[in-house]
């Protein structure tokens, strides 16, 4: 991979390598472990993604924050003991390309499939993620079926967003969608979402654009090739059980995740590709 003037490879004290971007458009960090972006700050604006202050950047463990890639399943697998949210977020991805243009920087990583335990994923596929960084952040997760049989999978771009105060935060744009929460439902979302308790809503038939309204401004979140999304905040009790997460940090974050889950599960015929995308920016 050939680097550009604004892009370098750095390393944490724990030895994890990340791609550092420092351009006239934005600053960002993308870890090779999990192909996980953990920082995105548009120039002269506030950060657009959140990471826990307790994160220790351990090898083989997903980072608490940023945008973990959940693949090839989201949540708990039906088989007991299989890793939650799949296998992609703890693997070391390969940096393939850096392209620096006047109006954005593009970084492409791929997941070497020979690293994946065939018990978890026996299929012949290619998986890559493309980050397009400017004053907005676009993330494209592309699956390609290289085998001779149909494959199905679920996935999510598990984005953690910052907020000064979750109790003063609202999510607009989910009205009219159906959701399931804690195994109950479906229910219809009638109003703008506010946060007063643990929230774990899996939406179906959701519109493509939501706005997260915070005291720091409004974050615009767009999805592509996705009719499902997940809204999550652990609130008080669950925060105490989470690893790499301070007890009170639920007040400063929420997740709004572009997904292909439930009725939105993806099935690819041989040779087919699918790209899930999330695009985030501060609303002007």
d(CA 30, CA 13): 16
Q: Which residues are catalytic?
A: 158, 257
From the number of C-beta atoms within 10 Å of its C-beta (0-12, 13-18, 19+), residue 49 rates as: buried
Residue 1 lies in a domain: no
Looking at the chain, the whole-number percentage of residues with pLDDT higher than 70 is 100
Q: Residue 92: its pLDDT value, please?
A: 97
Low-confidence ranges of the chain (pLDDT < 70): 1
pLDDT attached to residue 76 = 85
Domain assignment present for 194: yes
13: buried, middle or exposed (CB in 10 Å: 19+, 13-18, 0-12)? Answer: exposed
Q: For residue 252, with 0-12 CB atoms within 10 Å meaning exposed, 13-18 middle and 19 or more buried, which class applies?
A: middle
Residue numbers of the domain that contains 86:
7-282
CA distance 237 to 73: 26
Q: Which pLDDT does position 5 carry in this prediction?
A: 84
pTM of the complete model: 0.96
* Residue 50, SS3 per DSSP: coil
Number of structural domains in the chain:
1
| Whole-Å CA distances, 198 to 54, 168, 174, 195 | 20, 15, 18, 8
Identify the CATH number of the domain in which residue 161 sits.
Answer: 2.70.98.10
Q: Does the residue 2 lie in any domain?
A: no
């Amino acid at each position: 991979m050939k680097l550009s003037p604004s892009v370098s490879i750095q390393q944490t004290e724990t030895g994890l390598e990340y791609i550092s971007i420092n351009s006239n458009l934005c600053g960002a960090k993308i870890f090779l472990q999990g192909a996980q972006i953990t920082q995105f700050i548009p120039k002269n604006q506030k950060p657009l993604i959140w990471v826990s202050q307790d994160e220790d950047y351990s090898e083989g463990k997903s980072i608490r924050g940023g945008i973990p890639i959940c693949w090839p399943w989201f949540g708990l697998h039906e088989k007991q003991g299989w890793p939650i949210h799949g296998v992609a977020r703890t693997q070391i991805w390969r940096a393939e390309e850096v392209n620096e243009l006047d109006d954005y920087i593009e970084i492409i990583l791929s997941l070497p499939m020979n690293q994946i335990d065939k018990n978890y994923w026996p299929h012949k596929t290619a998986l890559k993620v493309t980050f397009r960084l400017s004053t907005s952040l676009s993330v494209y997760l592309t699956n390609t079926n290289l085998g001779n049989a149909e494959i199905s999978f679920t996935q999510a771009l598990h984005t953690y967003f910052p907020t000064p105060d979750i109790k003063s935060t609202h999510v607009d744009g989910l009205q009219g969608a159906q959701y399931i929460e804690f195994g109950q439902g479906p229910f219809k979302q009638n109003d703008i979402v506010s946060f007063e308790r643990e929230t774990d809503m899996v939406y179906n038939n959701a519109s493509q654009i939501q706005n997260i309204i915070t005291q720091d401004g409004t974050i615009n979140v767009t999805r592509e090739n996705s009719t499902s999304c997940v809204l999550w905040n652990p609130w008080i009790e669950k925060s105490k059980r989470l690893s790499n997460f301070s007890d009170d940090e639920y007040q400063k974050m929420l997740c709004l995740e572009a997904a292909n889950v439930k009725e939105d599960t993806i099935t690819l015929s041989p040779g087919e590709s699918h790209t899930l995308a999330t695009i985030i920016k501060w609303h002007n």
